[in-house]
Amino acid sequence: MIIDFINNKKKYFLGFAIVLIIILVVVEAVIMTNSKKSSQKEVEEVYTIYIDFNSLIKLTFKEEYTQCKKNGQEFEACSDITTEVLSHKLINNDAKENYNDMFFEEQSLEDALVSLIKTALDNKVKIDTLTITTDSKHLDKEKITEILSTKLSRKIDFTVNVDYQEYIDEEAIKTQDVVEEEILYLVTFDANGGSKVENQILKENGLVTEPTEPTREGYTFNGWQLSGEDYNFNTPVVSDITLVARWTKIPTTTTTTPKPSTGTSKPSNPGITTPSTPVTTEPEPTEPSNPSESTEPEVNPPEPSNPSEEQNPPTTDPEENTPNPDTPDGDKETDNDGDDGNQGNDNQSSEDNDDNEGNNSNTQDLD
């Protein structure tokens, strides 16, 4: 009987030891679980990033990861960090013009950044520097460069700068030199009837390059004008302008050809006569002239005047017979006129005598 009692006590003691071990294991497990919970925590935080490469774009994103407390120190991320873009904003005009149709929400920050840079490079945008401004401590230059190199499958030939700011001043970022927009102006050349001249696009305060002189038939080019004044090509351009060509017409010389006369004009000098073609006639035989006959032409005696005219002389105005004091030789002029008439008769008689002598000579030849 004693042996049976001892055997039963061993069973009870063994059962109690087993139960105690189980309790201890459970307690240890609970303690370990509580200890682990107190050294780890899940984190979800929202951050902002500004991406600038001539275009300026703002992304708001969240990060999710686990933080662990090691050796009683501060918690640190002890797991991979996952990101998701919550919203985006196109800040300057360049971004609005080139990336207005892009959608970044629900993408990871890495994918959104890569798609943005890839689109810019595909559109031949020259990127010299990529500047990242963020309030997240988990983004740095090495990580961004690695992400781009891996997912773009190309060597990054531009500089990557990452600026961490605990409190970001967006207005300050907008006014930085890297985000200032380039202002361009159009210079139009109006040839004003001449050959075409190409327009120019200049940056603000740039200088116009003087083009090749245009040409225009019949004109000489005299330079370019702005608002009616000669343009100085050393003037900085601060607005859109139109330059107008100035021309001077080349004078032409005209030659006038006289018209041929359509009629026969009479001689202006009545004293000069045009000789006519002589007409040759066969002379008729005449009797020899009597040498004793006078060659003087016959002078017809004046006809007797009408007695009635002598009896009734014409009435004349006394003023007409009064000699003009200014012309004292008035009577002489009248006499001279009469002399001229007698001289003309003498000349005519002389010509008649010459004709008679010619006839006589012709008669002798015939004999």
pLDDT digits (tens, 9 = 90+) for 81-113: 999 999 999 998 888 888 988 999 999 999 999
pLDDT digits (tens, 9 = 90+) for 59-80: 999 999 888 876 666 677 788 8
- Amino acid 18: pLDDT: 84
- Amino acid 261: pLDDT: 58
- Amino acid 134: pLDDT: 94
For residue 50, which of 125, 130, 129, 122 has the smallest C-alpha distance? 130
- Amino acid 310: pLDDT: 41
Distances (CA, A) of 49 to 134, 164, 167, 265: 4, 9, 11, 108
- Amino acid 365: pLDDT: 42
Q: For residue 353, give the amino acid letter.
A: N
**What whole-number distance in Å separates Cα of residue 108 and Cα of residue 64?**
11
- Amino acid 241: pLDDT: 95
- Amino acid 72: pLDDT: 60
Quote the tokens at residue 345: 């008769």
Residues of the chain with pLDDT under 70: 1-12, 30-38, 70-74, 176-182, 254-367
Please, what are the domains in the chain? 41-179 (no CATH), 184-249 (2.60.40.4270)
